[in-house]
Structure formats: C-alpha cells, structure tokens
Structure 1
C-alpha cells in the first residue's frame, strides 16, 4: 500500500484541525476517481468525491480540537504537531510509502520528523504542494477538507455563524469579537494560543481602560 497525507484547518483560529491519510494498492484507481487538490473543487464536488474515496480506499482520520491544539503548542510548534499527526495516520494504515504535503520550509527535514513518529518501515516522500502533484495526496486533502467542513457545521449549529473559522474570514472575526465582548473571554472553540485571539483581547482590554481615563 501507498498513502497520501494532508490536513485541513492548520491555520484556523476556530475549530479543529483534521489530518487524513488515504491508502491505495494502486494509483490506477485515480483514473476512475478523478481527484484534485480540494481547494480547486466546489463543495459539491468535494462531497461527491469524498463518498467515492471512502468506498474504494483505506482511510485514517485524526481530529485535533482547538483546546487540544492549545495544550500541544505548550510543548511543540504547530509544524511539529502536524508532523506528529501525519505520523499517527500513517501508522494506522501501515503503507510501504507515504506521500506528505510538507509543513516545513525544508521538505527533507520534515520527512525525517514524520518518520521519527513511526515504528514501522515506511518511506516518506515529503514535498511542497504534494496535494497538487500526487493524486493520493489530493484524495487525502478532500477527505480532510470535507471532514473539517462537517465539524465546522456542527459547531455552527451550537454557536451560531462562526464563518469558516479562519482569521481571514470577516464572519469568523465578527463572531469572535462579539463573543469576547459578551463573555470577556474567547469561546471554547477558539485556539487561545493564536495571535488573532491575543491581539483582539489586548485591543479590547486597552479600549476598556481608555474608557475609564
């Protein structure tokens, strides 16, 4: 077996990060399931491919919540966290070779970091933009993206319009700001270790102090 690994939600300020691995015996399957990097697909197309991939490939998924990410980041960098999670899903599938989307400026170093979390013999092929180069990684990106989108939908039902969860999303920032105004603290689904949160808290604190001066 070979597998591809990718993640979704690494840079999100709200909600989880999802890491997915897709394993196949032969890449010929991708002549039937025509995959692309998930960012190049519509939500409807991702959902359609998600079902096909899950039916015909081996899948491993790890979901890391915002609170867990905050805890992990006290011990290691975000890249190290991703590398460990990449290793976790690879370990579940036990492939001969794993293709990973490198989360480090140095792909070779990243491969060694991922390999350090394995107790199986597996060649790690680590490249930037692997989700566009290797169909098996494209498939993993689809599984990760759809899984994370579903997690965000669940959170939205509970917390309201949280947007995509990314700092670049005005809806996410509006939700975060309004929640902090009301509760004087970030929501449980926020990554409190994120600069987006600390900067927003500092600005609001400064604004409140100014009101009393």
Structure 2
C-alpha cells in the first residue's frame, strides 16, 4: 500500500468535501500541519468543523482558514493570540465548542480507540457541563464527553518511515498522536522520511497503522511568543 505522496495537494486529493470534520494536530504553533493547511486553503473547501487545541495565529496555521471563512465551527481549548478568531466568534460568524485541553485530547484518543464516550470530573459545575449527562461514581459527579470521530486528520511529525511509523518532538507530541488516531483517514506531513526499519520500535510514538498518507516538506517553524532579555552590560 503506497503511503508516500509528492505534495500536500496530492495527499489530500479526493478526500476534501464541504461540511467535513477535520482533526488538526499541533499546540500553539508547535507541530502544526502547515503544508496541509495551505493545501486546504487552496482547495476552497468550506463549512468546515475543525477540532484543534487552538486556531493558530492571524495569517498562519489554521488562522489562514479563518481569514478565508472556510471554517464554520471550531472545537478548541484556547482561542488567544488570534484576533480574527476572537472577532468572528464575538460577532457570531464562527461557532465555538470550548473543551478543556485534557478533555479535548482524550476525546480524540477515545475516538481513535473506538470509544464513543467517557466520564470525567473536568468541567463539572461550569458551562462546559450544560446539556451533558451527569453520573455519580463513588460520591463524585462526572460528566460524559463524546469521542471525536473525524472525517480526516492532519498532523505533523518529526520523522516517519514509508509505512507511517512516526516520531514527534517534544511539545508537538501533545495533540498530534491523538488527532492522528481519531481520523478515518490520517494525512501526515513530516520533516524527514527515513528508511523503513531504521526507527527504533521503542521510540515510535504513533504506529503506521493509523497513518494513510505521508508527505515530506520544508516548514517555517514560527515562534509564537518571542521573549528575550537585555544583553548584559559589558
């Protein structure tokens, strides 16, 4: 089964349609599938629901899809650092389903494991719990959250082999593996495709069974918040 494709556009061919649910990996601007996002922008597909920790920043990452009005709804944990996101939400142009970060990650992981729902204490007594099933376990109240089953997943890894076995670096490992797992089809962009069999099995973070299409590319790797201190006086 061929998994390696020549470009993001080629890897997405035949998969995109209006109104679909996309799970996107990344945390802030770390480990985001920027090449696949650019290809989705170019495709013109619209009315998308995107499940992602955040929505990039203005003019980069998922922020590009917001600017082109291709996203109808975001399922997110964090909406800071993106003025267009805030403007669209406050003006009623964008639907937003808030999720605590751990809950969002577990909803993705649960979908990938075929689990339709689970109970958690996170969000009990807040607006997050409104309209959800409540259940007591050992005297504690829990709310039910549903697993996320996305039409496609778009993720970014550091290294992968031709079968899709992948390694993520540091913070990029937060949301990329669960996002990859919950998609019916997972498309992964990587910095380097290595020979099959060259990765230490104990160091593989995502088995290739979850990955259907792989591309290699060059990435911009922006710094979301650059913080420096003055150079010490000579």
TM over 0.5: no
Tell me: higher relative CO, structure 1 or 2? Use CA pairs within 8 A at least 6 residues apart.
Answer: 1
Give the number of the structure whose residues are more often helix, by fraction.
Answer: 1
Give the number of the structure whose residues are more often strand, by fraction.
Answer: 2
